Amino acid sequence: KALPRSAMELRCQCIGTHSKFIHPKFIHNVNLIPSGPHCKNVEVIATLTDGREVCLEPTAPWVKLVIKAILDK
C-alpha cells in the first residue's frame, strides 16, 4: 500500500494502512515520516524481509510496540 517514493517526495506516500500485526522478525526496516507541508499525516512505512513495503498506522498500539521493540533490542 506504499506508493513509489524517494526520500524527498513532496506528497503523502501512503494510500492506506495495513491493520494486521506484523512480527518484527519480518520487518527489514521502518521509515518514519513526520507530518509536514508535503502531507498532513504522520507516515510509517515498513519494508518487509521479502521486499514489500507496507504503510502502518502510527496510532496503532502494536505499531508503537514494534518500534519500541526494534529500538530496545
Residues interacting with its own copies, by CB under 8 A? 7-8, 24, 27-35, 42, 44, 47, 51, 58-59, 63-64, 67, 70-71, 73
CB of 8 to its own copies, least distance (A): 7
Non-local CB neighbours of 22 within 8 Å, separated by 6+ positions = 46, 48, 54, 56, 66
Residue with cell 498532513: 40
> Contact, 63 vs 27, CB < 8 A?
no
Cβ closer to its own copies: 20 or 73? Answer: 73
CB of 40 to its own copies, least distance (A): 10
CA angle 5, 71, 27 (to 5 degrees): 50
CB of 56 to its own copies, least distance (A): 10
